Amino acid sequence: MATADDLKFQEFDDAANLLAANPDATTISIDEPVEIPKNQHSRLQEPGREEDDELLGTDDSDKTELLAGQKKSAPFWTFEYYQTFFDVDTYQVLDRIKGSVFPVPGKNFVRLYIRSNPDLYGPFWICATLVFTIAVSGNLSNFFIHLGKPTYHYVPEFRKVSIAATTIYAYAWLVPLALWGFLMWRNSKVMNIVSYSFLEIVCVYGYSLFIYIPTAMLWIIPQKVVRWVLVVFSLCLSGSVLVMTFWPAVRDDNRRIAVATVATILLLHALLAVGCLVGHCHSFSLTS
Amino acid sequence: MDEKRWACSITGDQCWGSCSGTYSNLRKPSVLMPPSVCSPLQLFLPVPHSRMLQGGSADSKDDGGPQFAEVFVIIWFGAVVITLNSKLLGGTISFFQSLCVLGYCVMPLTVAMLVCRLVLLAGAGTVSFIIRLIVVGAMFGWSTLASTAFLADSQPPNRKALVVYPIFLFYFVISWMILTFTPQ
């Protein structure tokens, strides 16, 4: 029942009472930077942020980490602990591969596909397949280039396999480690950076390498232009998966650091792609 | 039947059993292939395989051909990794049984290797390449099917493909090494 007091014009000093009633509300003041608390259920958010919550899942990120901790409760020296990293079915792996090859704009790969069930099956076997695909298609394209020359002696090149394996596995493990460490560090400085778990980052990187497998198979085509077009195309696809995963996470940081982070991610990815192409074309054989 | 005869008859059955895809004797709980019997036999199977693949002289490291150690390591390491993968995905097969099966199923590819070497003695032209391709392809299919028949059954049904694919990759790489091998 409306009283006369309720119909009175509200004074500004009621804002303090309002804030006391709803402590999670966002306050905006002109002098200070916007501070948005981690728990973002408040209705006073800008409308754009809700979409990012969907992207980041910040409302359940705390729960997710708790769940992840509960799931992997076996001690790390038991076999069951490592079985939790392989708790995927065939259709899940195929879905994740599909998600990495056809990135949906605006959808975060981690939230959409991984959903706190990161697996090591995909990253490990995609890297293994990539190593052997590069080696085999490298041998094949070498063979076709020199086809017909009587002095050419075909040799399978095992050094190439070793170098490719070292490079690709190092990339798939060390770069996520560095990125994870970086995100954790930024998380301690700026409250609302979402830090993915290490395995989720490994997962994203592993699945993003899948597009290079058909690309490596197509590198048999001897035209240089075709090969570089393929490199650029696959780089765009897998790079976009990485960007859409990590941009929402670092966007709230200092602008320059955020841009630098994403740029470094893309640069390393491009270096790997170019390195794969160079390794593919380079022949270790001394006879030609 | 004394222990030795029992073990030898079992391994003979195992060998043929793995290659023909029938594993009834492997499933019997009383026939737990003891690692001491399985490992030496399985150890020696990749050895002739690797020896035959060894290319050129041992001191010419730059020819890029497979050295004995490389092939040996690939086969053993690959078998261990596939076994670990199958167990991590929830397979009920024992570690040594799986290694056993994978080792025995390299046998068709060893036969393919022999045939390839013989064909290469006759010549290294296009015809010989086609013959080698057909032989290696057939043996590759046989190896994969034989080991899949056993290893996939020990998996939950929604993960069979996840277990089969690494086996396929493993035998594909070995087949590739065989097919591309040309002695100097």
Min distance A152 CA to chain B CA atoms (Å): 12
**Chain B contacts of A83, Cβ < 8 Å?**
88, 90
Tell me whether residues B161 and A90 touch, CB distance under 8 A. Answer: yes
Tell me whether residues A156 and B176 touch, CB distance under 8 A. Answer: yes
Which amino acid makes up residue B80?
Answer: V
**Chain B contacts of A146, Cβ < 8 Å?**
none
Tell me whether residues A129 and B169 touch, CB distance under 8 A. Answer: yes
Tell me whether residues A90 and B88 touch, CB distance under 8 A. Answer: no
Min distance B7 CA to chain A CA atoms (Å): 30
Q: Residue B144: phi, psi to the nearest 5?
A: -65, -45
Q: Structure pTM? A: 0.73
Q: Scanning the structure block, which residue is given the tokens 């069930």? A: A117
What torsion do the CA atoms of A159, A163, A164, A165 make, to the nearest 10 degrees?
A: 100
How far apart, in whole angstroms, are the C-alpha atoms of residue A255 and residue A76? 39
- Mean pLDDT score, B66-82: 81
- In sign, the C-alpha dihedral spanning A106, A111, A113, A114 is positive
Which amino acid makes up residue A33?
Answer: P
Q: Quick: pLDDT tens for B17-32.
A: 544 544 444 443 333 3
> What band does A170 get if pLDDT is binned at 50, 70 and 90?
very high
> What band does A283 get if pLDDT is binned at 50, 70 and 90?
low
**Chain A contacts of B87, Cβ < 8 Å?**
79
How far apart, in whole angstroms, are the C-alpha atoms of residue A155 and residue B171? 19
What Å distances lie between residue B3 and A198, B12, B100, CA to CA?
Answer: 51, 14, 19
Q: Which residues of B touch A (CB under 8 A)?
A: 55, 62-67, 70, 85, 87-90, 158-162, 165-166, 169, 172-173, 176-177, 180-182, 184
Q: Quick: pLDDT tens for B160-176.
A: 888 899 999 999 988 88
> What band does A72 get if pLDDT is binned at 50, 70 and 90?
low
Min distance A92 CA to chain B CA atoms (Å): 10
Min distance A88 CA to chain B CA atoms (Å): 8
CB pairs under 8 A between A and B: 66
Which has the closest alpha carbon to B82: B148, B166, B157? B166
